[in-house]
Amino acid sequence: MTRLTIAAMFLSACAVRPSPVEVPNLDIPQALDAVLAPLGELTPVTVPIANRGTAPTTVRIVATGDITAPSAVVIEPGQTRTLRVSVRPTSLDQTSASLQFTTDYQTTSRDLVITVVVDVDADGATSVAAGGTDCDDRNPDVYSGAVERCNGVDDDCDGRIDVNAVDVRTFFEDLDADGWGVVDVTTERCSLPAGFSVQSGDCDDDNATINPGVAEQYYDGIDQNCDGESDFDADADGFDAAAFDGLDCRDTDNSSFPGAAERPGDGLDQDCDGVVDERPPTLGEVAITEVHPTPINGPVFIELASRTAAVLSLDGIGVVATHSIVVPTGSNIRPFSTFVLCDTPADFCDAVSPLLSFDGVTELRFGVPLLDAVAVDMLPWVPGASAQWPDAPDNDANDEVGRWCAASPSSDYPTTPNDVRASCVE
């Protein structure tokens, strides 16, 4: 009987052994960070709360002062929760607020040290809440008197957004909605308004097929691309096509126009003078055949003769008399023909250069490099006289004054270029 009782007591003691009590244990920092809070504005504050215990707990929170916090949070064992509260100071003399954390097992209080500021962004302007004019005291670029910009923000705190912004753009009225506006109707805005375009240059804002982005259709009399250039100058060389009363003989080639350089041998008329493949003369191909330096009632002139079967271009070739001049653009000598350069127009003149004269001239020179020269001071010039060479000339012969016709006086100017005078000497 005794043995059974002892065994029963022993078994009972083993089965009823109590377990430890599970309780929460809050861990909150002893000192919370000081808070810089603008007057009248919400400032977020975080408070870490850890449960170091073995049981979950509900933490009841009571806030004192100008502080807003959740009424309760649940924290599991071993968990750390970040409590988010907000501080909104209502007066400049507020210096602190407090939070009280309560569970079924403990109560803990913590104070928040608050420094109330009136210029958080340090832009020199007091916040509106503190009686100042800074309408956004967390943005140093925003305050009364700041530069207004196109950014969707009231930078200068005048109650209007993007009004009188310094970086507005100019937009151009675009009635035909072709993406190109007109230059004389504009508006300045931060963003593109309806009925306007970001680019200008439209020369017909009632026609969407006419604007600077359209390909030009030449010879229809319409300026499709609004470049202001002639509609009859397809190669843009400055000359209208000959087919439309212009002077360009090849309006598909901008290297062909009156005055262009001829390229011998290509079969094309680059200078549009009606002659194909003319070339500059070489030594011996052109000679001075007549000189008339002292007119009575006609022009000063010199006559040049060609002794080759090629068409020769005289464009830009120099003539040195009293002045250094060049033969005018478009001047040609036909094969075995003559060319007369005068100082004033006349029926027999092929080209005119007003600076042609012989005052104080001892030698007439043609071409650089030299193509021909005449020692005019050795000829017996009298008013109205001319001297001409009747035979087939060459450069060597022109150097012999005795082979030129002698000048003779004439009151009615009977001599014209190309005449063979009887007074010529051998």
Confidence at residue 423, expressed as pLDDT on a 0 to 100 scale: 35
- Give the CATH number of the domain where residue 324 resides: 2.60.40
The parent domain of residue 238 ranges over: 232-277
The verdict on whether omega for the bond into residue 299 sits within 30 degrees of 0, i.e. cis, is no
For tokens 């005055």, what's the residue?
259
Task: Say if residue 248 is in the same domain as residue 309.
Answer: no
Could you tell me if residue 410 is inside a domain? Answer: no
Confidence at residue 282, expressed as pLDDT on a 0 to 100 scale: 85
Tell me which of 89, 117, 145 is where a domain ends: 117
Task: Say if residue 272 is in the same domain as residue 346.
Answer: no
Residue ranges of the chain whose pLDDT lies below 50: 1-19, 392, 395, 398-426
Confidence at residue 388, expressed as pLDDT on a 0 to 100 scale: 59
Could you tell me if residue 122 is inside a domain? Answer: no
Could you tell me if residue 248 is inside a domain? Answer: yes
Residue 365: HSE in the Cβ half-sphere, 13 Å Cα cutoff: 13
The verdict on whether omega for the bond into residue 29 sits within 30 degrees of 0, i.e. cis, is no
Tell me which of 117, 148, 171 is where a domain ends: 117
Q: How many domains does the chain have?
A: 3
Confidence at residue 235, expressed as pLDDT on a 0 to 100 scale: 93
Confidence at residue 163, expressed as pLDDT on a 0 to 100 scale: 92
Task: Say if residue 322 is in the same domain as residue 397.
Answer: yes
Could you tell me if residue 88 is inside a domain? Answer: yes
Tell me which of 64, 84, 117 is where a domain ends: 117
- Give the CATH number of the domain where residue 78 resides: 2.60.40.10
Whether the CB-CB separation of 80 and 66 falls below 8 Å is answered with: no
Cα separation, 416 vs 408, in Å, equals 13
Could you tell me if residue 176 is inside a domain? Answer: no
Residue 35: HSE in the Cβ half-sphere, 13 Å Cα cutoff: 28
Residue 83, helix vs strand vs coil:
strand
Task: Say if residue 343 is in the same domain as residue 313.
Answer: yes
Could you tell me if residue 222 is inside a domain? Answer: no
Confidence at residue 380, expressed as pLDDT on a 0 to 100 scale: 57
Task: Say if residue 272 is in the same domain as residue 332.
Answer: no
Task: Say if residue 307 is in the same domain as residue 382.
Answer: yes
Q: Is 279 exposed, middle or buried (0-12, 13-18, 19+ CB in 10 A)?
A: middle
Whether the CB-CB separation of 247 and 258 falls below 8 Å is answered with: yes
Confidence at residue 363, expressed as pLDDT on a 0 to 100 scale: 74
pLDDT per position as a tens digit, 362-380: 777 877 777 777 766 656 5
Confidence at residue 212, expressed as pLDDT on a 0 to 100 scale: 96
Task: Say if residue 253 is in the same domain as residue 290.
Answer: no
Task: Say if residue 346 is in the same domain as residue 392.
Answer: yes
Cα separation, 107 vs 103, in Å, equals 6
Confidence at residue 295, expressed as pLDDT on a 0 to 100 scale: 77
Confidence at residue 410, expressed as pLDDT on a 0 to 100 scale: 36
Task: Say if residue 238 is in the same domain as residue 313.
Answer: no
Cα separation, 319 vs 293, in Å, equals 14
Task: Say if residue 241 is in the same domain as residue 320.
Answer: no
Task: Say if residue 299 is in the same domain as residue 399.
Answer: yes
Could you tell me if residue 345 is inside a domain? Answer: yes
Confidence at residue 386, expressed as pLDDT on a 0 to 100 scale: 62
Could you tell me if residue 302 is inside a domain? Answer: yes
Task: Say if residue 381 is in the same domain as residue 399.
Answer: yes
Confidence at residue 408, expressed as pLDDT on a 0 to 100 scale: 39
